[in-house]
Structure 1
Amino acid sequence: MFYFWRTGEKGELWLSGGGIRDAYSRMYPDGPVCSEVSLLADRDMLNVSFVLEPGLSPSDKSAAEKRFREFARELGFSDIQAGWIREDRLQEALTTSTMVRSPLAWGVAAWVLVAVIRMGVSGTLLATAFGLAAFSVAALYTTERGSEIRRWFRKLLGKRP
């Protein structure tokens, strides 16, 4: 996922949480797994989550956090927050996160809600239209292609990207 970080004289700077995580994982393949990196732009903070493996000592945790802070500071970040997640909760979090970011899930949820309320042929058609609208809006804000479409729209309207 891409996160807005800053606006400068040459435009906006967007960062990939997955890209930062992958770069860190390539530099430090040993040690705890970095499961997610996100940017809290409003607080100018980089948030990182590690997988808490059984038997991991506090000194290993501290060393992993220190390595990530050094890595992030080299990239220009000053405020870094580290957290730990148990492995069984990691899969649950990834599944929930995947569902929340899925335009199809939002579209189906809207369709079911309206179909249950309205019913009938005309109701089902209306529910399908709402589902397609929810899917389209969710896709615009949760996918890379949606970001490209929004940038293209802004250029078309003459606004800054």
Structure 2
Amino acid sequence: MDVVVDSLAGELVDASLGLVRPGGRFVELGKADVRDPGEVAAAYEGVTYRAFDLVEAGPDRMGEMLREVVRLFESGVLTRLPLGVWDVRRAGEAFALMSRAGHVGKLVLDVPAATGTAAVSSVGGGGWVLVSGGSGVLGGVVARYLVGVRGVRRLVLLSRG
């Protein structure tokens, strides 16, 4: 591979580094297992390693990038990943599928509406909204949008940390 974009940890980082050809680049987006670029260069001949944090781009550039991503979705160049929705009572099956990497896209656990109450059908409809990656810059942007524009009042920001 010429370029590997990674957000894994442990032996999976090593396996991914092994895929990069001499002269290739390895871009680390994850925060769980950041490596020393000098050690990587010594262990993997000719591989350039760079840990990247979106904050480094700065707010103006980050805004440009996000607007471009939106444009690419709106024009059909990019499409959303598939979404698999599982009843929360089948969470074990969903997690088993995820542990085997047997899915593509996102898996979501859905909590059925209580008997006699209406289900929340849209963001801001009175239910809770969970933002995974919520402690990062993009999570903060999403949270401000949900509260300020969509009127969400019950929000949980979740982080791996």
TM-score by length of 2: 0.26
TM-score by length of 1: 0.26
Q: Which has the higher contact order (CA 8 A, sep 6+)?
A: 1
Specify the structure having the higher radius of gyration (Cα). 1
Structure ranking higher in helix proportion: 1
